[in-house]
Amino acid sequence: MSTHVKRAFTYRFCPTDAQAAELWRTFGCVRKVYNKALAARTQAWVTRQEVTYRQTSAMLTAWKKTGEPAYLNEVSSVPLQQTLRHLQTAFTHFFGKRARYPRFKSRKKSRRSAEYTTSAFRFRDGALPLAKMTEALDVVWSRPLPEGAKPSTATVSQDAAGRWSVSLLCGDSSVQPLPATGQAVGVDVGLDHLLALSSGEKIANPRHERRDRTRRLAKVQRDLARKARGDGANRRKARLKAAEIHARIADRRRDTLHKITTRLVRENQPIVIEDLTVRNMVTNRKPARAISDAAWSESRSMLEYQAQWYGREVIAVDRWFPSSRLCSACGTLREAMPLNVRTWTCDCATTHDRDVNAANSLLAAGPAVTVCGAGVRPQRSTPDRQSATKLKPSRREP
């Protein structure tokens, strides 16, 4: 099991001017191919025809030979084929009701990335040259790859702050199932505290976005709003400053969540959480910013994939389970409890902290969910990318 765990190791690098130009050209071609293939499949959807991955691959060959996008021959063909596979995966998720309909990539807003497979890069003695490049990337190897690891893909990307990174996907045999532990935990997410555990521990919410917003981000965004709209140099510089602050916020938030979720997975089995629909909750403008800053969805994703790595179990209790109103001592259910009530006393004379009581109630409901489901939704999962491209399209698929 552990030998098949795939992990992505991300490193920063600084490209030369020639490498940066080649990568920017590749990003543009990848976006162009993705959008043209999506347009073809959308048109087929409207006319009730069928377009598969193989057909879009044949279209790519035709685009290279004739017509406007003949410049696609100037870049490596591997990232172009990979973006067609990514589009196929997006449609697989859509027809499986796990995602929305694929959207077109924007030149300004979409993530700039290109994925290379083993036929388009070499990795030897710390050197990483890519196809169509004469020199290897100047990678900052901040941590070693697993011993004997052979990367299967290399994904080069540039974020909104202008930082370049390469992500190497490889098997990690060092990931082993953790020994069994008799300690289980219920986890209740919140805004005043990031997490409340059934053990009584409360993990403070660092509020990374709010702290930087009051200090630096507000000023930079005001400066950006004053710049004339368009592609002017001043507006580009102001946008870059704002993107750097947002990148710093995201890095700190991700680091905090990694440390918390790793500790929970290592110390507990199972971990019981609440199946919240964060996408619907952030439609309320009042708490949306605070919920996004707390990153509830990201913390759940981290818990789930780390539990899968280390042989742990994450149990999600139905979102309608009244964990806050249910007394974890006697089981009495209160009729109503406004959000401003943080402590309450049950008829059994037990005084509860609202969040800790909710975590204890979730922990008590966990075994019932495991045995009979208890209205819980299926665990979210991401199908294997390679197998997804081999799936036969349904009759509804374009």
Distance CA 85, CA 69 (A): 19
Q: Which two tokens stand for residue 331?
A: 């089981």
The residues carrying an active-site annotation are 188, 274, 355
Q: Which two tokens stand for residue 205?
A: 């919410």
Under a CB-based contact definition with an 8 Å cutoff, are residues 384 and 368 in contact?
no
- Pairing state of beta strands 193-197 and 202-204? antiparallel
Residue 366's pLDDT is 83
Residue 398's pLDDT is 36
State pLDDT tens for residues 75-97.
999 999 999 999 999 999 999 99
- R_g of the chain, CA atoms, integer Å: 24
Burial (CB count within 10 angstroms: exposed 0-12, middle 13-18, buried 19+), residue 367: middle
Residue 382's pLDDT is 42
Rounded to 10°, the helix 77-95/53-65 angle is 150
Residue 369's pLDDT is 73
Which regions in the chain score pLDDT beneath 50? 1-2, 375-398
Residue with tokens 């005001």: 222
Rama region for 18: left / alpha / beta (φ>0; ψ in -120 to 50; rest): alpha
**3-state class (DSSP) for residue 313:** coil
* Residue in 25, 92, 34 with CA at minimum distance from that of residue 60: 34
Which amino acid belongs to residue 337? M
Residue 23's pLDDT is 96
Query: What is the value of pTM for the model shown?
Result: 0.81
Distance CA 3, CA 25 (A): 37
Phi/psi at 313 (5° precision): -130, 130
CA distances from 219 to 169, 212, 224, 292 (A): 39, 10, 9, 21
